[in-house]
Amino acid sequence: MSYKYPYLNTDMPDKTEVLQKTPNTATKMLIEKIEADGNETYLDRFASQQPQCSFGLKGTCCRMCQWGPCRITEKSPRGICGRSQDEIVISNIIRALVSGLAAHGRHAHEIIYTIKGVAEGKINLKLKGTERIIEMAKKLELKISNKTPEQLAGEIADILIEDLSRMDNKNIRLLEVFAPQERKDVWGNLDVLPRSASYEIMEALHMTTLGSCTDWRAIAGQEKRSALAYCYSTLFGSSLATEILFGLPEPKETEVNYGIMKEDHVNILVHGHSPVMIEKVLEKIKLPEIQQLAKDYGAKGIVIGGLCCTGTELLARYGIPTVTNILGQEFVIGTGAVDCVVVDMQCVIPGMKILADCYGTKIITTCNSNRIPGAVHLPFDPEKPETLDEDAYTIARTAVEAYKNRDRSKIKIPKETTKAYGGWGYESIVKTLGGISNIGKLLKNGTLKGIATVVGCNTPKVAYESNHVTIVKKLIEWDILVLTTGCCSHALLNAGLCSKEASELCGNGLKKVIEEYNVPPVMAVGGCVDNTRTLRLFIALSEELGIAIKDMPFMFVGPEPGNEKTVGQGMSFLMHGVSNLVGFPAPIPVPMPKPIAGSADGEMDRGSNNIADYFGGNGALEELGAKIYTEPYPELAAQTIKMHIKRKRNHLGWK
């Protein structure tokens, strides 16, 4: 049985259909095991939630004051205050976007203040990214001579903090130095240049509260401003700051997937987004006394595996194997083999702790913003770093000690391991592919037809990971190079698409590139904030070829949107002129067909509103040179991407 998604005229899968259609073989076994153990996962809760609220699906429920909630219907086309559908829909979208901006902002805050702490000698870590420090110091026109990398990093951190918090009417510095001039002119003409993450969050919430702005176009303007703050203050801010702290990523050959866990080892998973504490914990785990402790409890060693974006960060830096993504975090606990999960911030679902209690898995939280009742809590605060080493040691010890409490009757680890060549960064992609001008040539002569960044979360609205994998298999068959981040990258890593062996699935052009340059067809470039790396590549290619990004054969693809953070991801690329293909609209609107009243055969009216027409029609296209396509069926989504890229190539006169 499947569930209806009425406004997209599509179906969503139940558990049986997920079992039939997911490409992830390891999870099939785990879904059945968890059910046999009498435990529930998101799949059961998704079923309990059906049918989902149709107003929520359309974004037409207003909860921005306490007179409501109000819903838009034919009978009531306005909320109690008089707010129209357009105003409600755009307000819901911008509130989701700035919520994601706040999350990335908080992430950036932790990393940037860690740099400050290290630069001032208060945090016992070393800055490993000298190359990035020098590059940024030059771009930001800092005086470099006679300064240590630490001094320069401290000055850069101050600028990044200003970009997060500036209240006066000045531009975000990272935008000034990293954005292409063509775009700065477009944004300037639209009057959407942002001040800072904090200011734009404040203004977005202000504009959408009761009795504030009722001009949806003005709110859409603030949406664009907030998206640019999201992109340059918090994506560029966190990603570059992490590289200052931990160094530039280098691609690594490794093995990923559930099978990296071992029954006779201590299995520790690391989860979240901001890997400062975990960096220290890894240092402590290597200590002979901690390794010995594991042996004393009868374990043959210690396995570390990565979840979500902390996982992809550690893959990039140390080749630590990734295991799974946001919707896999319950499945992996269901193996019964996880002794401990150390989490930092974001995308840790409550369901994971519920299952952890069923399987005797210890959870350790390390961020004050991410508390979980019943978990051991040892927070890292870059402004109070005195106990960092001591706490990291306690975490390492506690995680290993958890091994002795494991319930051995419930262990079942899937055998699947998958080869992967992941951990790409902007510099390593450019270098490995022979330089920017060579990548430009490969695009121009049609060896590569285009570049798609396929990213984002999982959604229960499709069979687990099926849209990510189906779309990307098609794209590489059509010689479209794929870059990926976040939860999508876990799906593609586990499906074997981030390894050179996936060459057999590729078209002749991409095959040639794989052989000649020793790269995989799908390049995992880190966590969600590392979409910066892809944007830098797009900007560099556009500048090299002298062609605006909006005219290049590029596309942003978010097949399975979930977290509020993903709204800003797509918008960041849209602002640069890169069209989006998203699997599901909410909360980004598309024309929403509705049954025609009195129609016996369920005929649908296209339905429309100004917001839908703006993002999916000519509005954004005219202003930004890009638009949002929505297509939940992966085969059709892949066709849409192919057509979009073909259209761009035709326009450029490229074969």
Report the distance separating Cα 302 and Cα 334, nearest Å. 19
Closest listed residue to residue 228, CA positions, set 268, 270, 273, 191: 191
Site size toward ligand BF8, by CB under 6 A: 16
Q: Which of 19, 487, 505, 612 binds ligand BF8 (CB under 6 A)?
A: 487
Judged by beta carbon, residue 455 or residue 475, the one nearer ligand BF8 is 455
Stretch that binds ligand BF8, among 124-132, 238-246, 369-377, 561-569 (CB under 6 A): 561-569
Q: Smallest gap, in angstroms, from Cβ of residue 462 to ligand BF8?
A: 14
Judged by beta carbon, residue 96 or residue 326, the one nearer ligand BF8 is 326
Does residue 456 interact with ligand BF8 by CB under 6 A?
Answer: yes
347 is in an annotated binding site: yes
Q: Which of 90, 326, 337, 525 binds ligand BF8 (CB under 6 A)?
A: 326
Stretch that binds ligand BF8, among 284-292, 336-344, 359-367, 563-571 (CB under 6 A): 563-571
Stretch that binds ligand BF8, among 132-140, 196-204, 536-544, 562-570 (CB under 6 A): 562-570
Judged by beta carbon, residue 294 or residue 309, the one nearer ligand BF8 is 309
Pattern 357-396, ligand BF8, x by CB under 6 A: ----------------------------------------
340 is in an annotated binding site: no
Q: Can you tell me whether residue 512 is helix, strand or coil?
A: helix
Find how far residue 169's CA is from the centre of its chain: 30
Q: Which of 105, 562, 589, 616 binds ligand BF8 (CB under 6 A)?
A: 562
Judged by beta carbon, residue 83 or residue 565, the one nearer ligand BF8 is 565
Does residue 271 interact with ligand BF8 by CB under 6 A?
Answer: no
Phi, psi torsion values for 488, nearest 5 degrees: -60, -40
Cα–Cα distance list, 422 to 209, 442, 528 (Å): 44, 22, 15
Judged by beta carbon, residue 86 or residue 530, the one nearer ligand BF8 is 530
Q: Smallest gap, in angstroms, from Cβ of residue 595 to ligand BF8?
A: 32
Contact call for residues 60 and 71 (beta carbons, < 8 A): yes
Phi, psi torsion values for 613, nearest 5 degrees: -70, -30
Q: Smallest gap, in angstroms, from Cβ of residue 324 to ligand BF8?
A: 10
Judged by beta carbon, residue 261 or residue 528, the one nearer ligand BF8 is 528
Q: Which of 233, 325, 335, 447 binds ligand BF8 (CB under 6 A)?
A: 325
53 is in an annotated binding site: yes
DSSP 464: T
Pattern 70-99, ligand BF8, x by CB under 6 A: ------------------------------
Peptide bond into 321 cis (omega under 30): no
Does residue 347 interact with ligand BF8 by CB under 6 A?
Answer: yes
Does residue 309 interact with ligand BF8 by CB under 6 A?
Answer: yes
457 is in an annotated binding site: yes
Bridge partners of residue 29, in order along the sequence: none
Q: Which of 43, 241, 316, 528 binds ligand BF8 (CB under 6 A)?
A: 528
Stretch that binds ligand BF8, among 22-30, 559-567, 572-580, 642-650 (CB under 6 A): 559-567
Q: Smallest gap, in angstroms, from Cβ of residue 338 to ligand BF8?
A: 18
Does residue 315 interact with ligand BF8 by CB under 6 A?
Answer: no
Find how far residue 272's CA is from the centre of its chain: 11
Report the distance separating Cα 267 and Cα 332, nearest Å. 11
418 token code pair: 């998958």
Q: Smallest gap, in angstroms, from Cβ of residue 223 to ligand BF8?
A: 19
Q: Smallest gap, in angstroms, from Cβ of residue 554 to ligand BF8?
A: 20
State the angle between helix axes of 276-285 and 388-401 in degrees (0 to 180), rounded to the nearest 10. Answer: 60
Residue with tokens 């975490």, as numbered in its chain: 395
> What is the dihedral sign for C-alpha 336, 376, 107, 627?
positive
Q: Catalogue the E-assigned strands of 530-586.
A: 554-558, 580-582
Tabulate helix, strand, coil % of the chain (nearest 5): 55, 10, 35
Does residue 527 interact with ligand BF8 by CB under 6 A?
Answer: yes
Q: Which of 85, 92, 365, 563 binds ligand BF8 (CB under 6 A)?
A: 563
Bridge partners of residue 427, in order along the sequence: none
Judged by beta carbon, residue 199 or residue 236, the one nearer ligand BF8 is 236
Judged by beta carbon, residue 222 or residue 274, the one nearer ligand BF8 is 274
Q: Which residues contact 439 (CB under 8 A, 6 or more apart)?
A: 430, 433, 448, 537, 541
Judged by beta carbon, residue 527 or residue 591, the one nearer ligand BF8 is 527
Peptide bond into 77 cis (omega under 30): no
Judged by beta carbon, residue 232 or residue 393, the one nearer ligand BF8 is 232
Report the distance separating Cα 417 and Cα 261, nearest Å. 9
Does residue 582 interact with ligand BF8 by CB under 6 A?
Answer: no
501 token code pair: 């062996």
Q: Smallest gap, in angstroms, from Cβ of residue 168 to ligand BF8?
A: 30
Q: What is the DSSP string of 576-629?
A: TT--EEES--TTS-----EEPTT-TT--EE----HHHHHHHSHHHHHHHS--EE
Question: Strands 266-271, 252-256: parallel, antiparallel or unpaired by DSSP?
Answer: unpaired
Judged by beta carbon, residue 60 or residue 242, the one nearer ligand BF8 is 242
Closest listed residue to residue 309, CA positions, set 111, 116, 535, 19: 111
Q: Smallest gap, in angstroms, from Cβ of residue 557 to ligand BF8?
A: 13
Judged by beta carbon, residue 104 or residue 642, the one nearer ligand BF8 is 104
Report the distance separating Cα 66 and Cα 38, nearest Å. 41
Q: Smallest gap, in angstroms, from Cβ of residue 470 to ligand BF8?
A: 18
Cα–Cα distance list, 366 to 68, 277, 397 (Å): 37, 7, 15
Cβ burial 548-574 (10 Å sphere, 16+ → b, else e): bbbebbbbbbbbbbbbbbbbbbbbbbb
Q: Can you tell me whether residue 47 is helix, strand or coil?
A: helix
Judged by beta carbon, residue 487 or residue 540, the one nearer ligand BF8 is 487
81 is in an annotated binding site: yes
Contact call for residues 221 and 190 (beta carbons, < 8 A): yes
Q: Which of 345, 457, 575, 611 binds ligand BF8 (CB under 6 A)?
A: 457
Q: How many CA atoms lie within 13 A of 569 on its CB side?
A: 31
Does residue 308 interact with ligand BF8 by CB under 6 A?
Answer: yes
Subset of residues 272 to 291 that bind ligand BF8, contact rule: CB under 6 A = 273
Applying CB under 6 A, the residues found at the interface with ligand BF8 are 273, 308-309, 325-326, 347, 456-457, 486-487, 527-528, 562-563, 565-566
Residues belonging to the binding site for [4Fe-4S] cluster are 53, 61-62, 65, 70, 81
Residues belonging to the binding site are 53, 61-62, 65, 70, 81, 273, 309, 347, 457, 487, 528
Residues belonging to the binding site for [Ni-4Fe-4S] cluster are 273, 309, 347, 457, 487, 528
